[in-house]
Structure 1
């Protein structure tokens, strides 16, 4: 039997795609799936770019009601995040995450591509000023407080720095470059149900990059997955995960 750590021991560059499953042991509920936050039938409408632009106050009412902001902002990295950070001692690791919880950043991983943005930031669509979500929790509808040279306050309604429905994912070219140059693509905690990131195993296959899925269940499309390990992330131990 070959452990996960042994399986990658001859690698130089590793690309890792992480999904919501790895954050469940940190107390963060999944966004999709049976008990996911996105089972709410109004999500795709109310969390859309168009709804934010046309109904900003109602958007923020829904946003604050959907997410447990204090939970997301206070959650701590777990064994998976820390294992990925520790890999940097030996390998060049690029983490491509679908998660908005910021736990890879808290784990101090060096190279993170947040394709869906991050919950802990907001941005002013007009002047581009960033704000920490933590500082906005007492505002029902956060507004930009930047003052211009003439003394006027910007006042624009802030936008969460996450990818809303109707927006493109971020840094796709960097994602493709990381995968195409990797020795392995590890997919952790994702069932690969969200486009366009779910195409990455197929993209890896085109470049001859072997793909390993580690998750509590198979992906929705296993055609491009070379190997699969079924794992409960609450018990994650890279030395105990056997890759056949």
Structure 2
């Protein structure tokens, strides 16, 4: 009898799991047409993160961010659709296998695929929050302002609007991070999908899971610093690996 393939091994690990957690990064959404931040074609090569993604610069020169939002962020997010990997994770949740998705992504595609229990470590760019009255607005409503008003203002109180995402210089939401750590500590299978595992503190979550006895699987096109702790590693497309499992 021949040895099982790595896909067969992954299938078996998922079937044996009772408390599976998935951790997703930019690589899964890149397959839906959303650019990653790092790498040869990453956003950091085209836009200065000190200006584009720093909270101090956002308040100092908000027009810089909102021009980026108008020209790049909104069109890309607006046309993006969940891919096979997003759909596979949603189906695994519906089957009762996947308990939680922890994501570094801010695009909302995992929820659009049907996932219900998603922990967003870095927020969601589809939500725009008023820093004065606290009201949330859709990115579509805010986008409509940008032809006539820059920066946009809250339609309810004329307060400052900010995308509900974590900028450089801001801390991750404590409650979400605590829930992510708890999920990592209690899972028996930790599946990394499309993360380079270099952004802290999120990159420590696979280590936390491993230290608490979970099996770790990494699916990412490029090698990661944590490949050595994984029981199974795929340097492949997330859609190719996950799409054939469910």
TM norm structure 2: 0.87
Q: Determine the C-alpha separation between the residues in 2 that align with 1:28 and 1:186.
A: 21
Q: Determine the C-alpha separation between the residues in 2 that align with 1:118 and 1:133.
A: 10
Is residue 79 of structure 2 the alignment partner of residue 69 of structure 1?
no
Task: Report the CA distance between 1:74 and its aligned residue.
Answer: 2.5
Contact kept, 8 Å, 1:192 with 1:198, in 2: the verdict is yes
What SS class does the counterpart of residue 219 from structure 2 fall into? strand
Is residue 173 of structure 2 the alignment partner of residue 173 of structure 1?
no
Is residue 192 of structure 2 the alignment partner of residue 187 of structure 1?
yes
Structure with more helix by fraction = 2
Q: Determine the C-alpha separation between the residues in 1 that align with 2:63 and 2:158.
A: 13
Aligned to 1:143: 153
Contact kept, 8 Å, 1:15 with 1:182, in 2: the verdict is yes
- 143 and 230 in structure 1: CA distance in 2 versus 1, 3 angstrom threshold: same
What SS class does the counterpart of residue 9 from structure 1 fall into? helix
Q: Determine the C-alpha separation between the residues in 2 that align with 1:199 and 1:159.
A: 28
- 226 and 63 in structure 1: CA distance in 2 versus 1, 3 angstrom threshold: same
Is residue 212 of structure 2 the alignment partner of residue 202 of structure 1?
no
Where in structure 1 are there 5+ consecutive unaligned residues? Answer: 147-153
Aligned to 2:12: 6
Q: Determine the C-alpha separation between the residues in 1 that align with 2:52 and 2:22.
A: 31
Q: Determine the C-alpha separation between the residues in 1 that align with 2:223 and 2:125.
A: 27
Task: Report the CA distance between 1:92 and its aligned residue.
Answer: 4.1
Contact kept, 8 Å, 2:220 with 2:234, in 1: the verdict is yes
- 72 and 238 in structure 1: CA distance in 2 versus 1, 3 angstrom threshold: closer
Task: Report the CA distance between 1:217 and its aligned residue.
Answer: 1.6
Is residue 170 of structure 2 the alignment partner of residue 160 of structure 1?
no
Is residue 21 of structure 2 the alignment partner of residue 15 of structure 1?
yes
Q: Determine the C-alpha separation between the residues in 1 that align with 2:82 and 2:88.
A: 10
Encode CA deviations 1:91-117: one digit per residue, 9 max, x unaligned: 242000111111011011010011111
Q: Determine the C-alpha separation between the residues in 2 that align with 1:234 and 1:184.
A: 19
| Segment drifting more, 99-108 vs 229-238 | 229-238
- 163 and 208 in structure 1: CA distance in 2 versus 1, 3 angstrom threshold: same
Contact kept, 8 Å, 1:213 with 1:227, in 2: the verdict is yes
Contact kept, 8 Å, 1:80 with 1:233, in 2: the verdict is yes
- 205 and 234 in structure 1: CA distance in 2 versus 1, 3 angstrom threshold: closer
Q: Determine the C-alpha separation between the residues in 1 that align with 2:64 and 2:219.
A: 38
TM norm structure 1: 0.88
Task: Report the CA distance between 1:191 and its aligned residue.
Answer: 1.1
Task: Report the CA distance between 1:138 and its aligned residue.
Answer: 2.8
Aligned to 1:39: 45
Task: Report the CA distance between 1:238 and its aligned residue.
Answer: 5.1
